Structure 1
Amino acid sequence: MPIRVQILLLPETMLSTLTGPLDLLSTAGTLWPLLMGTEPQTLFDVELISSTREPLCFAGGLTIHPQKTLDQAGPADVVYVPSIFITPDGELPASVSLASNWLSKQHSDGAMLCSACTGAFVLAETGLLKGLPATTHWAFGELFQQRFANVLFKNNAVLVVNSDARLTTAGANASWQDLILHLIKSTANERVAEETRRLFLIDNHDSNQGAYSHCNLQLTTADKEVAKAQSWLQANLAASLPVEQVVQQSALPERTFKRRFKQHTGMTVIAYMQMLRIDAAKTRLVTDNDSVEQIASDVGYQDPSYFRRIFARETALSPSQYRRKWK
């Protein structure tokens, strides 16, 4: 019996994370055998589920017709949530609340839930990710942490699998490929996943999201002392003892300042400084020809070996690999 997969279709769905997975799941087990002259086998029964049966119109005039409503959808083995468009202010579409209730029911009925990119916001609204690791698009990491503080957020992760909880989240847009191949491998078999990879020319990610991300340098408008510290840190990457200096400049008790800084930025002062330094190093590695040692020193790391370890931890690439990848 084919594996029952339901794809949640919202008016705000980003189509690249819908149509690609639809192609892979619809052809897994059939197209490769047809090309190779062997017996095809339909492995996945895929349905598009939405709150209405009315056609949904997307950018460029593309219209998609859902096959069933949320009320009509029966039980599923897998429910997949594509990415959705989220405005910079973080306001979630009204459709998310209704969808999250439906997702909770499908999960309680035994379905595996998975999301791509900002689809993690829909999944997290169910409350099912509480206390579990998860990821989403790197640019929405701060917003995700502020909205779902009880989720163990993994900003650099491409794919986070919670097998026992039947919950999986994928990172920025193209990581849907990693998610769908994992889905095929875990629910069908590894051979079909590899055939699908070859057929659609999909490579493994040789790095994590940290190799693609760029830090958000927007200053908070809600706390002038935190904004002042953010500005100073950005202008003084190579400063020694940066935490002590911004605490002193704030004239606040250390614990108070650190609490307010994390509240408004989503990270500790030292983590924020490290983000700025690594981001500056990424730019330098691509835009000039200075040695790794010189760049490390300029962004605040006097020990090149330590810099290389931190850089590799954040990007899954060495500085030299990063330079070759992007320069």
Structure 2
Amino acid sequence: MRPPSSCLESDPHHVSLLALPEAAVSTLTGIFDVMNAFALLNPPAAQVPFRVEIVGEQAGPLELASGVPINVQRAIGEIDSTDIVIVPSVLLGPAGWTKDRYPRVVEWLRARHGCGALLCSACSGIFLLAETRLFDGRDATVHFFYADAFAAAYPSIPIQPERVLVVSGEREELVTSGASMTWHDLVLYLIARYAGATAAQDVARMFALQWHQDGLMPFMVFEGKRDHGDSDIRGAQQWLDTHFSVAHPVEEMISRSRLAERTFKRRFTHATGLSPLAYVQRLRIEDAKRRLERTEASVEEISWRVGYEDPAFFRRLFKRTTHLAPGEYRKRFRLPDFARL
């Protein structure tokens, strides 16, 4: 159903960039600058597609999470019409996200959605949007560092931290971006959606932005789950930390555990979320990633050092896990020559 026209603005589209005390200044100001870039790309008289405004619970100065002050241009209580709401990334402390801290903001977000506005989050901004309950049962993404905390706090929202951008909702009106700098992808997506692909490409060139087309798996560091409470399995994991490259590590773990094979495999999978073989593979690939980043060793040598005698199998496994071939991974993530001491 089409929302009431009085709820939306047009020509240019109004963007409400929500400022919270927990917000990261780099994400908030970065989104603001890029979405306002059309004034630099076009003649002064040209029409721009977006009118971006920093909004918050109150207008005026606001100190963000890093201690940097910004100016909130308008209070949300004054805004009945907007087309896009963006919640930038927020910094979570050791205690995590505090629920129910911003009931007025959550109510305003729900109202704006009811009037047809897109609700967008960058990185961890989904923690606030999740309180609207509009994402329940809808796919979303979040920074992989916060994935477990988000899943525990909002189990009704399917979270996919390996994805760069997720567009959900009946009207494709719920948009989330993943880790850190994927706000670039969010902004470029919005520009392409409302101003066209050519405009998005022009902005990408101007700011040297790139789409994260390979997803976020190459950036994710594997850390096996250890808070499961099974001491036998934790002991096996600790042994694997330094012995994953030995021949037949799964059989060796089972022998060392003194558990029946079926029992060990069942308990290991239940505790870690991965089969013993898949867990070993993830440890081996993680070590290979570090070697590709930090050494000049050939792919064949790295394959052998992490436990694979067949380099072709290693290459296939590496690409299936990281979405990049070993050579592509090294090219993207190795320290550049000019940065080496």
TM-score interval, normalised by the smaller of the two chains = 0.7 to 0.9
Q: CA deviation at 1:217?
A: 6.0
Whether contact under 8 Å (2:15, 2:83) holds in the other structure is yes
- CA–CA distance in structure 2, aligned partners of residues 51 and 227 of structure 1: 47
Contact 1:211 1:317 in 2 (8 A): yes
Query: Does 2:127 align with 1:121?
Result: yes
Aligned equivalent of 1:141: 147
**DSSP-derived class of the 1:4 partner:** strand
Please name the residue that 1:209 is paired with: 216
> TM-score, normalized by length of structure 1?
0.83
Alignment of 1:136-175 (within 5 A): 136-162=142-168, 164=170, 165-175=172-182
Residue 19 of structure 2 corresponds to residue 13 of structure 1: no
Structure whose CA Rg is larger: 2
Distance 2:251 2:166 in 1: 31
Count the aligned residue pairs. Answer: 319
CA shift for structure 1 position 159: 1.9
Correspondence for 1:285 = 292
The answer to whether the Cα contact below 8 Å between 1:5 and 1:79 also exists between their aligned partners in 2 is yes
Work out which of the residue numbers 71, 80, 91 in structure 1 matches 2:77: 71
Aligned equivalents of 1:317, 1:241: Cα separation in 2: 26
Matching residue's letter, 1:152: P
Higher mean alpha-carbon deviation, 269-278 vs 103-112, is at: 269-278
Q: TM-score, normalised by structure 2?
A: 0.80
**Corresponding position of 2:8:** none
1:3 Cα offset (Å): 0.7
Q: Distance in 2 between matches of 1:46 and 1:150?
A: 32
- Unpaired runs of at least 5, structure 1: none
Q: In structure 2, how many angstroms separate the alpha carbons of the residues matched to 1:143 and 1:55?
A: 31
Matches within 5 A, 1:135-284: 135-162=141-168, 164=170, 165-205=172-212, 207-216=214-223, 219-220=226-227, 222-238=229-245, 240=248, 242=250, 245=253, 249=257, 251=259, 253=263, 257-258=267-268, 260-262=270-272, 267-270=273-276, 271-284=278-291
Task: Give the unaligned 5+ runs of structure 2.
Answer: 1-10, 335-341
Q: 1:102 aligns with which of 95, 105, 108?
A: 108
Q: Counterparts of 1:131 and 1:273 in 2: how far apart (Å)?
A: 32
Distance 1:152 1:277, change over 3 A: farther
Residue 127 of structure 1 and its aligned partner are, at CA, apart by: 2.9
Instruction: Give yes or no for contact 1:206–1:316 (8 Å, CA) kept in 2.
Output: no
Go from structure 1 to structure 2 and tell me whether the alpha carbon gap of 1:302 and 1:190 turns closer, same or farther (over 3 Å shift).
same
Alignment check: 8 A CA contact 2:318 2:325 kept:
yes
1:31 matched residue in structure 2: 40
AA matched with 1:115: S
Q: What is the CA distance between 1:65 and its match in structure 2?
A: 2.3
Q: Does the Cα contact within 8 Å between 2:228 and 2:271 map onto a contact in 1?
A: no
Distance 1:68 1:318, change over 3 A: same
Q: Are residues 289 and 26 of structure 1, via their aligned partners in 2, closer, same or farther at CA, if it must alter by over 3 Å?
A: closer
CA RMSD of aligned residues (A): 3.1
2: CA distance, partners of 1:10 / 1:243: 52
Q: CA deviation at 1:84?
A: 0.2
